[in-house]
């Protein structure tokens, strides 16, 4: 039972925008009043003329359970004895205009299965976690200097029973986790599992911010999924959508008859591109709502991080809008100043609560210092998606190789800014849907060349500075683009090319996990240098990746044409013997077998600004990884 003094203090913080655990106060909670067990309800609805709690328990008759208005700031309270877990309910709100509206609980912890829209009572604290070892390990981990590779996952289309009939979170845990673990990924990133009315919004248009979607089971079923991931050494990141919400009647839109969660100014509120509404980031109670929601998922579900969707749409008033659909800010700029301050405040709060989590921004512009701390002027995230690298590389790799020499800058330009942020290299669901084709099917050439291009692209991605994210299905060469209502084409694994691609990806991932040079200095200039960035005529680049130990250095040579070159000279920084430890052109991966099986001895003649060079075979549409295995002193 909450003490009156506690409620008063928490409400003060709530209205100041500083109540980080507002979900413990607002919403529906098991409680005891006058010796009777039941559920306590609290709601923020300052414009409402009256609020009733309705559900099956009172035949949806609001007169049975009216709420009491506790404060002038619009906090409403009610207690209903004998209510139990699983009770369906809504709020019946009398608006200032005399209309009755039925609304789901903004702080509801569970929801009915769509198309039904009511909230469902559900306690927060009945699940027993078994991931203590993982949580302790996370506290000691330096995430910037460890391998991070993320499997982007949409549960309903990974595998389903039939159209719009899904497995449960627990069943998905039993199927997904062994697959992801075998692939060697460090994390799973889930497309939003916050409650949403329309399957094909994939969760990005939310109505229930505190409810794990009932499509796949209960909130504790989802906790089980996270728990099992952790017990198997896999972190879990959730796509989170604080930028906007959908307009469905039972949701947040004009919640108490007036604009409450959204801006009152319709130019600021409307997102015409998506048909949604923007949160009022300057309103203190909305700040408490959103910050509490982020902390809710991190604390109550032990999530390891949030990927914050559509950050650019928060930062810019004109994002996705035509002339006349937006207005300049008070200083004559196009930045949403309230959103900028909110993002900083949000990240400060989250890292004060837990400094070991990931806050990843999907930010598609050149806004500076996105992944820098707020005390030096940054937005306070610790990672940013590298959308520039993604766009350049996809444009490049989709070209016929004969044209690539004219666009060589697309594979080199990213290194001009690679260390300006802590970057994640993303090939996400957005790039393999809506007619954009799958990653494999983007590739030019015949059937063999498509797979060779895919292998080369993935190897270049894994060798490039930055953490990695790939959409599910890439691991075996999904040929069709992502079909959000159907499951992945697992039957393709019956064909050699796709089975070989899966084997290739596993070994590439293993190479990445085993080689500190590929991740230890991801965000430091010392971790990378070009050997030759300028051979545009042959579309060949070579570079080195370093770790803190000099003998971990890797030389990477990439050929983006189908030509083979023998006795090709590559500069190397150190004298000694080099071995090709991995190549995407190996025959067991489906390649042509133009490998360097013998030792490559350095020649003491400068080349490509290096003191030594080797002569090697450059395979077609392939990437080779070389490592110095001995020095002249060791050879003697």
User: What amino acid positions are annotated as catalytic residues?
Assistant: 309, 362
Q: How far is residue 605's CA from residue 43's CA, in Å, rounded to a whole number?
A: 76
Instruction: Please answer whether residues 345 and 18 qualify as being in contact, where contact means their C-beta atoms are separated by less than 8 angstroms.
Output: no
The DSSP code sequence of 403-459 is HHGGGTHHHHGGGGTTTSS-EEEEE-GGGSSTTS--HHHHS-SSHHHHHHHHHHHHH
Q: Is the dihedral of CA 315, 316, 317, 321 positive or negative?
A: negative
The backbone torsions φ and ψ at residue 423, rounded to the nearest 5 degrees and listed phi first, read -100, 145
Copy the structure tokens of residue 74: 């619009």
Q: How far is residue 320's CA from residue 323's CA, in Å, rounded to a whole number?
A: 10
Dihedral, CA of residue 292, residue 294, residue 296 and residue 298, to nearest 10: -140
Looking at residue 9, what DSSP letter applies? Answer: H
- Tell me which H or E stretch contains 294: helix 284-300
Question: Starting at the edge strand that comes first in sequence, how are the strands of the sheet with 577-583 ordered?
Answer: 528-535, 540-545, 554-559, 622-630, 577-583, 600-601
Copy the structure tokens of residue 393: 């590389």
Task: Report the DSSP beta bridge partners of residue 75.
Answer: 44
Looking at residue 610, what DSSP letter applies? Answer: B
Instruction: Please answer whether residues 156 and 215 qualify as being in contact, where contact means their C-beta atoms are separated by less than 8 angstroms.
Output: yes
The DSSP code sequence of 110-153 is -BPPTT---EE---SS------HHHHHHHHH--GGGS--EEEEE
Copy the structure tokens of residue 146: 């460890």
CA distances to 2, 421, 547 from 177, rounded to whole Å, are 40, 31, 30
| Buried b / exposed e along 234-254 (16+ C-beta atoms within 10 A) | bbbbbbbbbbbbbbbebbbbb
- Strand positions, DSSP E, 310-394: 358-361, 383-385
| Buried b / exposed e along 540-566 (16+ C-beta atoms within 10 A) | bbbbbbbbeeeebbbbbbbbbbbebbe
Q: Which of 132, 133, 169, 164 is nearest to 153 (CA)?
A: 169
Instruction: Please answer whether residues 292 and 346 qualify as being in contact, where contact means their C-beta atoms are separated by less than 8 angstroms.
Output: no
Please name the residue that has the structure tokens 């820098």: 372
Task: Report the DSSP beta bridge partners of residue 424.
Answer: 385, 467
Helix (H, G, I), strand (E, B) or coil at 457: helix
Instruction: Please answer whether residues 75 and 41 qualify as being in contact, where contact means their C-beta atoms are separated by less than 8 angstroms.
Output: no
For the chain, the 3-state helix, strand and coil shares in percent, each to the nearest 5, are: 35, 25, 40
């Amino acid at each position: 039972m909450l003490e009156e003094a506690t409620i008063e203090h928490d409400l003060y913080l709530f209205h100041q925008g500083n109540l980080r655990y507002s979900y413990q106060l607002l919403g529906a909670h098991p409680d005891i009043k006058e010796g009777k067990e039941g559920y306590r309800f609290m709601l923020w609805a300052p414009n409402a003329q009256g609020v009733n709690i309705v559900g099956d328990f009172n035949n949806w008759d609001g007169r049975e359970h009216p709420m009491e208005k506790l404060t002038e700031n619009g906090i409403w309270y009610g207690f209903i004895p004998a209510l139990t877990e699983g009770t369906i309910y809504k709020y019946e709100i009398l608006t200032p205009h005399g209309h009755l509206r039925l609304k789901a609980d903004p702080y509801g912890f569970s929801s009915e299965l769509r198309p039904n829209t009511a909230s469902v009572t559900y306690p927060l604290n009945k699940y027993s976690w078994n991931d203590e070892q993982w949580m302790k390990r996370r506290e000691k981990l330096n995430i910037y200097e460890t391998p991070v590779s993320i499997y982007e996952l949409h549960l309903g289309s990974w595998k389903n029973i039939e159209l719009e009939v899904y497995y449960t979170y627990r069943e998905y845990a039993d199927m997904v986790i062994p697959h992801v673990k075998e692939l060697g990924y460090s994390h799973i990133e889930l497309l939003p599992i916050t409650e949403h009315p329309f399957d094909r919004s994939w969760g990005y248009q939310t109505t229930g911010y505190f409810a794990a979607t009932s499509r796949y089971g209960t909130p504790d079923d989802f906790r089980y999924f996270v728990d099992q991931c952790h017990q198997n050494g896999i972190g879990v990141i959730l796509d989170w959508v604080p930028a906007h919400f959908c307009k469905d009647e039972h949701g947040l839109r004009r919640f108490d008859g007036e604009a409450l969660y959204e801006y009152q100014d319709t130019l600021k509120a409307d997102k015409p591109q998506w048909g949604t509404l923007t949160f009022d980031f300057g309103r203190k109670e909305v700040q408490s709502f959103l910050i509490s929601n982020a902390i809710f998922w991190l604390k109550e579900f032990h999530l390891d991080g949030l990927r914050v969707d559509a950050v650019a749409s928060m930062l810019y008033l004109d994002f996705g809008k035509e002339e006349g659909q937006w207005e300049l800010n008070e200083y004559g700029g196009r930045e949403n100043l309230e959103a900028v301050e909110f993002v900083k405040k949000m990240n400060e709060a989250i890292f004060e609560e837990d400094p070991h989590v990931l806050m990843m921004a999907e930010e598609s512009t050149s806004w500076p210092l996105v992944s820098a701390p707020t005390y030096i002027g940054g937005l306070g995230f610790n990672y940013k998606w590298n959308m520039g690298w993604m766009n350049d590389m996809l444009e490049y790799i989709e070209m016929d190789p004969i044209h690539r020499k004219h666009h060589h800058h697309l594979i080199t330009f990213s290194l001009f800014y690679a260390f300006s942020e802590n970057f994640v290299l993303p090939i996400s669901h957005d790039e393999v849907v809506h007619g954009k084709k799958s990653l494999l099917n983007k590739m030019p050439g015949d059937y063999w060349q498509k797979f060779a291009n895919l292998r080369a692209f993935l190897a270049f991605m894994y060798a490039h500075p930055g953490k990695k994210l790939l959409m599910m299905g890439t691991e075996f060469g999904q040929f069709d683009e992502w079909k959000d209502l159907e499951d992945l084409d697992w039957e393709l694994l019956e064909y050699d090319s796709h089975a070989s691609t899966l084997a290739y990806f596993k070994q590439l991932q293993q190479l990445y996990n085993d080689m500190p040079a590929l991740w230890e200095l991801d965000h430091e200039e010392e971790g990378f240098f070009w050997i030759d960035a300028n051979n545009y005529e042959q579309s060949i680049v070579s570079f080195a990746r370093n770790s803190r130990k000099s003998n971990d250095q890797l030389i990477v040579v990439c050929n983006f044409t189908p030509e083979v070159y023998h006795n090709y000279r590559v500069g190397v920084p150190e004298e000694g013997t080099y071995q090709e430890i991995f190549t995407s052109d190996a025959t067991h991966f489906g390649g042509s077998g133009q490998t360097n099986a013998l030792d490559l001895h350095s020649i003491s003649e400068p080349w490509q600004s290096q003191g030594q060079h080797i002569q090697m075979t450059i395979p077609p549409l392939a990437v080779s990884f070389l490592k110095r295995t001995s020095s002249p002193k060791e050879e003697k």
